[in-house]
Structure 1
Amino acid sequence: MVRIENVESFYAKLRESATSTSSQNPLLIFPSSSDVDSICALKVITHILESDSIHYSCFPVSSFLEIHNYAPPALSSHSPLTILLINWGCHRDLKLVLKLGPAARVFVVDSHRPIHLHNLSDQNHQVLVLHTDDDERQADLAYDFDVLKLANESFHMHQESDGEDEDEDESDDGDRPSKRRKMNDDKLMKKLKRDYYKMGTFHGKPSGCLLFELSHLLRKNTNELLWLACVSLTDQFVHEKLTDERYRACVMELEQHINSSGNIDKIASVTLKDGTKVRAPDCSRISYEEEPRLMLLREWNLFDSMLCSSYIATKLKTWSDNGIKKLKLLLARMGFALVECQQKFPYMKDEVKRKMRQEFDRFLPEYGLNDFYYRSFLRLHGYSSRVSAADVVYGITALLESFIESGGSSASKQFGEAYDALSLNNLDKLRSGMQQAIKVQRAILRQGSAAITKTGCIRSGRKFRWVKVEDSIDAKYLGYPQALTKFCYFLMDALREKGARMKPMLCASASQQLGKILVVGVCGKPRLGAVRGNAFGNAFRKAAQESRADYFHELFESSWIVLDVSAVNSFMIRLTEKL
C-alpha cells in the first residue's frame, strides 16, 4: 500500500477504484456487526458515496469467514473488484486471508491496532488502510522504531521467501560477509516484528470520527453526521477502548465542530403576529455538557441507575446489604426522598433534577467518587426529547447483541435493527435497545455479586484471574462479546476496590452456539503512558492450538475466542504458559 497521509487521498483512491470503467461490480462494503462505531462509520461513508453517485452494496459481517458468503467469485479471480471493510480486517494479512485475485482492491477503515505489517507496506498495492499521521501521533501506544520501514522490509522478505528457495550450500565463499550482514539484518527485523506485535492490541481514532473528518473536508458534513461522530467517540469511551486523555482531546475537536455548525445559536422563543411569545422546539440540535456516570438515567430511575451503574456499584458495593444502606443514606443526605428517586426519571420533580449536580458534587467525594461527571454529548429534538450519546451507545450495542442463532435471528439482521435505531425517526427501536441494555446491566450486577461474594468463584492464577458465568439465565444476556467484556471490567473494578492486586481478567460464558463457550480477556483500561495493550490475542490462538481444541478465533477482536465446552480447562492451563 502507498502510505495514506490523509482521509481525502484515501477517499480519492477509493472513488477512483469504485468508478473504474473496467469494473462491472458495485463497491462492496462489509461493515463489522460487532460495534456501534461501525454503524456510524457506515452511515457517514454511504452519505458521501451517494452524494458522489457511487453504487454500492452492503453486507454486515461478524467474522472473517463470513465475507466469503457474500463476496463474488471475482474476489479471487482476475475481474476488477473494490471492497471496503469497516472496523475489521487491518490486523490480519488481508491479501492472504481473503485470497485476493490480482485485480481486487481492498480499502480498510478500522480502529483496531496494531495494523498487520503487510497491510502497511508500500509494495502491497491491493490493500489500503486509512492510517493518518494525526491518528498515529494521538495513539495510546507509541512505537520507538519506524513502523513503515519495518512494514516494507517484512513484506519484501515475505515475497522473497515465497518466490525463492534459497540453498545456502550453493553460495560462493565471497558472498559470506554480505550473507552474514543479511542474516543480522533479518534477525533485527524479526526482533522488531516480535516487539511490534507483542505490544498487544489497542484502538486508534474511531472510524466514525475519521470519516466525519472526510465529510467535513469534502464539505458534505451535516448535523446528522456530526452526531454520528459523537456517538462513535462515545462508543470507544463507554467500552474502555481509549484513555481519558485522548477522549477529552477528541471531545474538544467535536465541540469545535458543534460550535461552528450553528448548534449554539439556540432560538429559545418565537414571537407570533399578535405579540405572543411561545417556546420554540429544539430542531435536532447537538449540545455538549457534563454528564453523570449513571447508565441510562433518562430511561431508568435515579435509584436503580445508581444501584446498577458500574462506576457507583463497584465503589459502594451495592450488591451487598451494607452497600444498599450506603446508597440510601447518600440519597437521604442529599435530601432526595427514596420514593422520588424510584420514580421514572422523566416524572421526577424538576426541583430534584436541578439539585442533582450540586448535591452530587457536595457528597460524592466522601465516597471516593471524585470524577463522577464527564464531558458528553446530547441530541435535543422537539420539546422534550433529550438523548445522550452514551445512552445511544448502550441501546445500539444491546440491539447488536440481541440475536439468538437458534432462534431465527442473526447478527446481520440485528445490524439492520441497530442501523435503523440510530435514526431520530426510530426512537422506539432505540428505547427497546435501551431496555435490553438495562437487563444486561442487571445481569452484570447479579453475576458480579455472585462472583465476588462466593469463595472460589473467581480463580486466580499467577498471571490472570478467570471466572465462568454458570447461570444459564444470565448467560443469555452475557454470552456476547461486548456484554462479557463489560462484565470483565466490572469485576476488575470491584476487585480493585477490595484492595486486590490488579491482574488481567478472563470471563467465560455459554455462547449463543450450543455446546460452545465464549471467552474474552481484558488487561485493564487504557491509560496514559502504558507500554502494552491487550496481550491476549496471540496467546489465545497459541493456547487453543496447543490444547488441540476445536476453536473459533475469527471474531474481530483478537481477545475474543469461542471454544468447545470440554476444552476450557486445558485451554486455561496452556494460556498460563503463553502470557
Structure 2
Amino acid sequence: MYVEDVKEEFYQFLSGKRISIIVHYDIDSICTCKILQTLLQFSHTIYTLEVVAGLEHVREAYLNHAPDCKYFVLINCCGTVDIVEFLEPEEDVTFFVLDSHRPTDLCNIFSNGQVRLLSSPEEDGQVPEFADVFREDEDDSDEEGSDDDENEQGTKRRRSNDDRALPEERILRRRERRKWEENRNRILFEYSQFTYYNKASALFMYNLAWKLNRDDKDLLWLAIVALSEQMTFAKIENTTYVLEAGSLQAHATRLQNRSNDAEVKTSLKVYIERDLRLVLYRHWTVEASLKYSMHTACKLRLWSQRGDKKLQQLLADMGLPLVQSRQTYRSMELQLRKEFQGKLQELAEKYELGDVLLTTFALQYGYGHKFLATDIVYAMNSILECTTNKSRKECFNLALQCLSRNKNEILYQGIERAKQVTQILFKTVQSALEMRQVVSAGPFFYYIIQDGCVDWQMFSQQHVLLLLAQFILRAYVSGSKNKKASAMPLLVSAPCDLISGDCMIVGIPPLCENSPKNFFGKAFEQAADRTGCETYCDYFDTSYFRLPTKHRTRFIDALTALLS
C-alpha cells in the first residue's frame, strides 16, 4: 500500500520507536540514508543500520534484527520482490519501502498494510487493477465437491436435471478461469517486461525534510549528488533529470536567500551551472581529462592514432600550450582557465563534439574548495567499488564521510582513485576495439572480459561494469560502418568469483533509444529457463545476472535464439 501522508504515517509514526534501516550499497542509498539519519536525530529515534548488496544479505539482516525490532525501513532494496513471501515475517512486523528500482512488485502495492511504499501511484506507471491479477474464488473447492458428489451418485441410474448441469457449469468455469489467467499473464508480462529506475530516493527524503522544515544546504547537496549519480550512469531520462534539477535549483535559491551576507562569503554555496562534459577536469590535467572522458573519447575516437593527432590539434587551436595542458587545472595560468570552456565551445562544431556542456550543480565553501556534483559521484563510486582490502561496511562508512565537509582528504583520495578507474576503462575499451573483441550475436553485441584480465576484480562491480558497457557501446557505434549498430543492445560479461568460477553479465539498451528502460531482465530469466543452467540472480537490478562461466556460451546462444 502507498503511504499518503508521509509526515504523519511515516515520520511521526516511527518517532520514538526502535527501527532497523536496511540500505542498499550504492550512492543514492547513501545520500538517502544520511538525510534520514539527520531527521531521526531530531525525533530521538533509536535505529540500527545494515548495509546490503543483494537479496540474501537482506534476508540475513532481517533475521538478525527480527527478534528485537518490528519496524524496518528498506532503502533501494526489495521493492521489486514480494517482501512478505520472501522474508516470511510475523504479522506485527511493518516494512517501509523507499526504492527507486522499478517495476514495484504488485503484492507490495496491494499489501494490506504490512508493506508500506514511500512513493506515489503515479511513479509506478500503469499499475494493473487488483481484480485483473488477483482472484478470490472457490473454483477448486467447488470442483472437488462436485467430484465427490459424482462418486457418491455413480451407482444411481437416474440423475436430476441439476446434476446433469454440473459438468457444463464446471466446463464454463474452467474456460472462464483459463481466459482470466491468459489475460493475467499478458498483463503481468507487460507490467514487468522492462527494468528501469524512478527518480532518486534521496529526492523523496529531502522533500520530507523540507516539509518538516529541517532542510538545509547540506541535505540539499545530498539530494543533488543522488540525482547526479542517476544522470552519470544513465539511469533516468534526460527530461526527468532536467525537471528534477529545476526543482532543486528552486530550493538552492530559497536556501541561499535565507542565508545572511557573512555566511555567503565564508560558508557553503550550492548553485546550478553549465559545465563541460569532462571527467574530473578541475582536479586533473586538461589533456588527460579530454582523452579519457567518454564523451570526447568517442567523438574524436581517441583510441586511434588519428584521434590522438586530433586531440593535439584541438589543444593547438585552443591556444593551449602542452606545458599548460599537462599540468593540473588549478596550476594553469588564470587567463587560460577563464578561456578554456569558451574556446572548447567555439571549436565543438569544427571537431564534431556535439554539446560539450551539461547542466550540473557546484558546491563551494570558503574560497578554495569547489566541487561539481559529478566529481563527488565518481569519487564515491571509486570508494565503494574500487577500494581493496576493506569490507563493505568500511567502504560504506568512507563514502558517508566523503560527503562531509571536514573530510576532504577522503574525498581527494576517492578522486585520485576515480582517475585511475577512468584510465583503466579507456584502455580496456581501446584494447577491445583494436583486437575486435566486440562480437555481433545477431540481435545484440557482446564483449567478454577473460579470467586472466588484470583488472577483473574491478569489473566485477556493478557500476564499473555498467560504465564499461556504456563506453564500449558508444565507442563501437562511433567507429562502426554498420548503420544498424546504434539500434543494437550490448551484453558485457566479467568474472566475479574465480574460486566458484562464476561470471556476471550486464545488458544495456541500444543508443538509439532515449528511454533507459531495460528488457534484459526478463530475457535473462527466460534464457536461464530454456538452458536449465544454474543461475544466481541476487541483484536488485535484474539487468545484472550471475551464472557459472562454463555455462556462459550456452546461455548466450539461448539468449540469441530468444531475441532473434
TM-score, structure 2 normalization = 0.89
Aligned equivalent of 2:210, options 204, 207, 216: 216
User: C-alpha separation between the residues in 2 aligned to 1:85 and 1:491?
Assistant: 34
Further displaced range: 508-517 or 311-320: 508-517
Structure 2: gaps (5+ residues):
148-165
Q: How far off is 1:41 after superposition?
A: 0.5
Give the Cα–Cα distance (whole angstroms) in 2 for the partners of residues 483 and 305 of structure 1: 18
For residues 526 and 129 of structure 1, the distance between their equivalents in structure 2, rounded to whole angstroms, comes to 33
2: distance between equivalents of 1:101 and 1:250? 38
Match of 1:521 among 479, 484, 507: 507
1:240 counterpart SS class: coil
- Quote the residue 1:118 is aligned against: 107
The residue that corresponds to 2:442 in the other structure is 462
Sort the Cα spacing of 1:353 and 1:191 in 2 relative to 1 into closer, same or farther, 3 A: same
Q: Following the alignment from structure 1 to structure 2, what is the Cα–Cα distance between the partners of residues 176 and 351?
A: 85
Offset of 1:80 from its aligned partner? Answer: 6.5
Q: Do the aligned partners of 2:97 and 2:116 also contact (CA within 8 Å) in 1?
A: yes
**Offset of 1:126 from its aligned partner?**
1.2
Corresponding position: 1:104 with 2:100: no
Contact 1:243 1:527 in 2 (8 A): no
CA pair 357-61 structure 1, distance change in 2 beyond 3 A: same
Cα shift at 1:167: 4.3
Identity, % of aligned pairs? 24
Residue 196 (str. 1) matches residue 180 (str. 2) = no
Counterparts of 1:247 and 1:83, CA distance in 2: 30
**Pair 1:539–1:134, CA change in 2 (3 A):** closer
Q: Deviations over 1:479-533 (max 9, x none)?
A: 21100111111111112212441311111112255333221111146955x5x82
Look up the equivalent residue of 1:464 and give its one-letter code.
F
Q: Which amino acid aligns with 1:553?
A: C
Instruction: Give the C-alpha shift of residue 74 in structure 1.
Output: 6.8
CA contact (8 A) 2:15 2:43 kept: no
- Assess, with a 3 A threshold, how the Cα gap between structure 1 residues 477 and 74 changes in structure 2: closer, same or farther: closer
CA contact (8 A) 1:520 1:561 kept: yes
Say if 2:130 is the partner of 1:128: no
Opposite residue 105 of structure 1, the aligned amino acid is: T
- Residues 169 and 413 (structure 1), Cα distance of their counterparts in 2 relative to 1, 3 Å cut: farther
For 2:77, the aligned partner's letter is: W
Closer, same or farther: CA 485–71 of 1 in aligned 2, 3 Å? same
- Paired letter, 1:127: V
Give the drift of 1:366.
Answer: 1.9
Post-superposition CA distance 1:210-258 (Å, at most 9, x none): 1111111111111111000110110000000111111111111110001
CA distance in 1, matches of 2:232, 2:511: 11
**In 2 relative to 1, CA 474–175 (structure 1 residues): closer, same or farther, beyond 3 Å?**
closer
Q: Give CA-to-partner distance per residue, 1:329-364, whole Å, 9 cap, x none.
A: 011001111110111111111111111122111101
SS in 2 for 1:467: strand
Work out the CA distance in 2 between the residues paired with 1:214 and 1:163.
Answer: 47
After superposition, the Cα gap between the structure-2 partners of 1:73 and 1:101, relative to the gap in structure 1 and judged at 3 Å, is farther
**Match for residue 20 of structure 2?**
28
Q: Indicate the residue corresponding to 1:12 in structure 2.
A: 8
Q: Distance in 1 between matches of 2:173 and 2:142?
A: 18
SS of corresponding position for 1:423: coil
Q: Which moved more, 1:66-75 or 1:252-261?
A: 66-75
Structure-1-length-normalised TM-score: 0.87
Query: Is the CA contact 1:90–1:110 (under 8 Å) kept in the aligned structure 2?
Result: yes
Change in Cα spacing, 1:372 to 1:162, as seen in structure 2 (3 Å) is farther
Q: Are 1:244 and 2:238 an aligned pair?
A: yes
- Deviation by residue 1:386-431 (Cα, 9 ceiling, x = unmatched): 0110000000011110255xx4x32222111111111111111111
CA deviations 1:110-143 (Å, max 9, x no partner) are: 111111111111x43211122225645xxxxx54
Q: Give CA-to-partner distance per residue, 1:81-131, whole Å, 9 cap, x none.
A: 11111112111111111222211111111111111111111x432111222
User: Is the contact between residue 6 and residue 208 of structure 2 (CA under 8 Å) also seen in structure 1?
Assistant: no
State the Cα distance separating 1:66 from its structure 2 match.
Answer: 0.8
For 1:491, the aligned partner's letter is: I
User: Measured at CA, do residues 117 and 337 of structure 1 come closer, stay the same or move farther in structure 2, by a change above 3 Å?
Assistant: same
- 1:416 matched to 2:389? The reply is no
Please list the CA deviations of residues 180-238 of structure 1 after superposition, one character each: whole Å capped at 9, or x if unmatched: 4454333322211111112x111111001111111111111111110001101100000
The CA distance in 1 between the partners of 2:119 and 2:518, in whole Å, is 20
With over 3 angstroms needed to count, the CA separation of the structure-2 counterparts of 1:340 and 1:99, relative to structure 1, is same
Shift in alpha-carbon separation, 1:289–1:512, aligned structure 2, 3 A: farther
- Is the Cα–Cα contact under 8 Å of residues 543 and 571 in structure 1 kept in the other structure? yes
Residue 520 of structure 1 aligns with an amino acid whose one-letter code is V
User: What CA distance in whole angstroms lies between the structure 1 residues aligned with 2:242 and 2:306?
Assistant: 35
Partner of 2:220: 226
> How do 1:301-320 and structure 2 match up within 5 A?
301-320=285-304
1:507 has 2:504 as partner: no
Residue 161 (structure 2) aligns with = none
- 1:466 maps to a residue whose letter is Y
Mapped contact 1:243–1:526 kept (Cα < 8 A): no
In 1: Cα distance, 2:498 partner to 2:74 partner = 26
* Gap change, CA 1:526 and 1:124, over 3 Å in 2: farther
Q: Is contact 2:301-2:479 (8 Å) kept?
A: no
Please state whether the residue corresponding to 1:511 is helix, strand or coil: strand
Question: How many Å separate the matches in 1 of 2:471 and 2:112?
Answer: 42
| Secondary structure, aligned partner of 2:272 | strand
SS of structure 2 residue aligned to 1:366? coil
Q: Which amino acid aligns with 2:192?
A: Y
**CA separation in 2, counterparts of 1:166 and 1:104?**
36
Does residue 249 of structure 2 align to residue 260 of structure 1? Answer: no
Q: Do residues 438 (structure 1) and 419 (structure 2) align?
A: yes
In the alignment, the residues of structure 2 paired with residue 365 and residue 467 of structure 1 have an alpha-carbon distance, to the nearest angstrom, of 32
Equivalent residue letter for 2:3: I
Stretch of structure 1 that moved more, 10-19 or 89-98 = 10-19
Of 29, 44, 58, the residue aligned with 1:67 is 58
Is the contact made by 2:24 and 2:51 (CA closer than 8 Å) also made in structure 1? yes
Contact 1:484 1:520 in 2 (8 A): yes
Larger CA Rg, structure 1 vs 2: 2
Change (3 A) 1:160 1:118: farther
CA deviation map 1:5-26 (0-9, x unaligned): 4xxx235333465358xx7xx2
How far apart in 2 are the matches of 1:74 and 1:366? 61
Alignment of 1:244-393 (within 5 A): 244-262=238-256, 267=261, 281-393=265-377
3-state SS of 2:58 partner = helix
2:157 aligned residue:
none
In structure 1, C-alpha distance between the alignment counterparts of 2:240 and 2:143, rounded to whole Å: 48
Match of 1:566 in 2: 550
**Preserved contact between residue 212 and residue 221 of structure 1 (Cα < 8 Å):** yes
8 Å Cα contact 2:300/2:353 also seen in 1: no
Q: What's the counterpart of residue 46 of structure 1?
A: 37
Cα RMSD for the two superposed structures: 2.7
Secondary structure of 1:472's partner? Answer: coil
Residues 513 and 428 (structure 1), Cα distance of their counterparts in 2 relative to 1, 3 Å cut: farther
Residue deviations 1:123-165 (CA, integer Å, cap 9, x gap): 43211122225645xxxxx54xxx1524x643x33x7699979
Cα separation, 1, equivalents of 2:271 and 2:11: 33
Q: Which amino acid aligns with 2:21?
A: I
Q: Distance in 1 between matches of 2:538 and 2:493?
A: 17
